[in-house]
Each structure stands twice: as structure tokens, then as C-alpha cells.
Structure 1
Amino acid sequence: MRRLLLALPFALLPLAVAQAAEVHDHEHASLGAHEHGVGRLNAVLDGQTLELELESPAMNLVGFEHAASSAEDKAKVAAVRARLEQPLTLFSLPEAARCVVSQQELESPLFGDTPHADEHDDDDHATDGKGAASKEHHPDHSEIHAHYQFTCAAPGALKTLDLANVFKTFPATRKIQVQLISPSAQQGAEVTANAAALKF
């Protein structure tokens, strides 16, 4: 059921994604590539429901991708998780929209989660034959996935999606590739700290 709202409309976005990709060279065009400094955000506004799904290399948010073993590393992971657990602040949703978090889910190997093979790996080499993730997947390239669902009493007040706070909170994030669907727009765009807002 998770990501159902996101999965259906994003099937309709190939043109917007293709247009955004034309601006960049082939290496940076893939929305699924693990690239330090680059995050991905899917956003869907449907009626009173707003869904946001943020995916980022752990390096952008925590500063490393290895399992946290030292007290300092564990503290960094805990601090990042605490920030991600405050999505109304992180995404600067306007108070006038009266949005409340109805569901949120954070996943990362750094949080002690095991990657779900059905979500990220769709080929046979996802495991080493003994059920363990192969080295070319998550161990060297840890990601953090945050999925939020909001119920907004006044969705008309959501005029823009402002990601400035994401860039301020996680300064190692240089750009975010966004796919946004709302009743009035379907767009694929790349935002930076200097141009961090998109219109719904």
C-alpha cells in the first residue's frame, strides 16, 4: 500500500523527467543514481493528501555511509533521524494549510534497517547467494529514505513547495531532483539552495 499514491501518478511523468534530464549530461540524468550531494524528492498533492518521499545518499545528511560504531557517529545518526522526524519544519509547510502528519516512515541501513530487495533490487545479483546483500548495493552506498503522508485541512494554501530548510539543515545536499504532481501541475525539476521553491 505504501507508495501507491506516488507510484500511479509518476507513471505519467516521463516527459517531464525527460525534459529535466536533457539539461544535464547522461551521468547526472538518472533519478535513481547514487550521487553524493544529490537527493531526490517525489511530491504528490491529491485532494487533502500530500505525500513526500525523500531519498538521499547518507553522505548528504549524516556525512558518512558506514555503519555507525563510534559514539560520535551514533550521535550524528540520531540527530539526523530527529530532524527527519520533524517534516512540518523540514519542508516549511505553511501553517495556513493546516497539515498534520498522518504517516511517516524512515528507512536506512544506518538506522538498523535492512534494505527491501523488492523495493530497490529487481535483478538476481541483489544477494550473494546466501541471502546477504551484495557489496555493490547498500553496504558502500547507504541511502536514507523518508516517506511522509500529510492530511491538509486547507490544501489550497499550499502554493509552493519550499525546500530551503532541507538545504539549510543538510548543507552537503547541493541539489534535489524533484518530481511533483498537483491538481494544476506535473513537473520534473532540479532545485538548489539558491532556487529552492516549486509551485504546486
Structure 2
Amino acid sequence: MRALLFALPFTLLPLAVAQAQTHEHEHEHEHGSLGAHEHGVARLSAALDGKMLELELASPAMNLVGFEHAASSDADKHKVAVTRAQLEKPLELFAIPAEAGCKVVSQELESPLFEEAEHHHEHAGDHEHEHSDIHTHYQLECSSPDKLQALDLAPLFKQFPATEKVQVQLIGPNGQQGAELTAANASLDF
């Protein structure tokens, strides 16, 4: 399943290229290149295969936390903790219907902001040039996957209003599709 999720961006690459807009800048993450880093824009890959639903969200930290620098003040640390707690609830974040019987099998949240600020002093003068991203990966097992009719991002847009649009790539029972969702158009049928 994970291989399917990783193959998704390459399968839908022509669609992504067609919908690509000018990005502000490129960003290198410690785990490799992330590609476009555009404030207000996030990317979501979703794959429903049998009873397994995988969701992978990538977003500039600015969209979710409101800043990208190392959290040094108590207010910043609190904001990071609240954001992480919200991201640890994918069933709520993606409005997964209870009747689908989905449970979280695994989840990973990655961001320099979630780690200890060990490099904070080292790079103190560089903060205006740093760009942090947040990556999440969720694997859900659903007892009634037929009850998953749509991917609804309304709660994500509500909790993180700085996220203006999400570029979605989806593989589901009806094949592959891509869309750009906004708060006004926050749903995509499986």
C-alpha cells in the first residue's frame, strides 16, 4: 500500500504539472527535496485500497502553526503542541465518517518544529531564511470502506485557516483523480 501511495505523485505528475502555479521558492528538507514550498498551499495524497486508507499531508509550517522558525518562546511552543495534537486526530481532521469504522493503524508526524530546538542557537541569525514543512502520514483500517463516499477537508480548513488550498491526488475505487480543494470547495468524491 505504501508503494502505491508513493507512486501516486508520479502517476498524476502530468495533472500536477498542468495545475502547477508559480511557487515562491524551493526548499530542501533534511530528508531530501520537497519541491514547491508555497505558503497557503498544502499537498495531500490519499489512497483507498480495500479496507486500508492512507493519507499523506505535506504543508509549510506557516499554514498550520503560523511560523516556521524554531519555537523558542512559551507561546510558540504552545502553538506547536496544539498543532501537533490537532494533527494527531486524523479521523476528525479529515471528517472520516464514524459509520466507515476506521481506526488509526499508524501515524507519523515529521517537522523540525516537533523536534527539540537543538539547532536554535546555531542558526539564530538565519531564521528569516529558514523554511519548515510539516509532513504527516496516516494509515487507517476501515471495517466498512464503502461508507467512505468523499474526502472532506472542511475541518482541516477550519482548524488551519492559513491553508488556502490543498492540492489533492487520490486513488480510490473509481480510479485516480486530482483536484485543488479550498474552504469553499472542500470535498472530493472517492
Give the TM-score category using the shorter length.
0.7 to 0.9
Query: 1:49-88: per-residue Cα shift (whole Å, max 9, x none)?
Result: 0000011100011110000011110000000000000110
Alignment of 1:158-197 (within 5 A): 158-197=148-187
- How many Å apart are 1:169 and its aligned residue? 0.4
Deviates more, 1:104-113 or 1:58-67: 104-113
What's the counterpart of residue 62 of structure 1? 65
Cα deviation for residue 188 of structure 1 reads 1.5
Q: 1:66 to 1:9 in 2, by over 3 A?
A: closer
Note if contact 1:107-1:113 (Cα within 8 Å) is conserved in structure 2.
no
Q: Which has the higher contact order (CA 8 A, sep 6+)?
A: 1
Gaps of 5+ in 2: 27-33
CA distances 1:117-169 after superposition (whole Å, capped 9, x unpaired):
xxxxxxxxxxxxxxx9xxx9xx7110000100000111111110000000000
2:157–2:183 CA contact under 8 A, matched in 1: yes
Identity %: 58
**What does residue range 32-43 of structure 1 map to in structure 2 within 5 Å?**
32-43=35-46
TM-score, normalised by the number of residues in structure 2: 0.84
Instruction: Find the counterpart in structure 2 of residue 20 from structure 1.
Output: 19
1:114-193 equivalences under 5 Å are 140-193=130-183
CA RMSD of aligned residues (A): 2.5
Cα shift readout 1:173-195 (whole Å, capped 9, x = no counterpart): 00001111112131111100000
Q: Deviations over 1:7-26 (max 9, x none)?
A: 134432234334433xxx44
CA distance in 2: counterparts of 1:38 and 1:98, whole angstroms: 30
Indicate the structure with greater strand content.
2
Match of residue 107, structure 2, among 104, 107, 113: 104
Distance 2:6 2:42 in 1: 18
List gaps (5 residues or longer) in structure 1.
Answer: 115-131
- TM-score of the two chains, using structure 1 as the length reference: 0.80
- Does 1:53 find its partner at 2:53? no
* 1:177 match: secondary structure: strand
Aligned to 2:81: 78
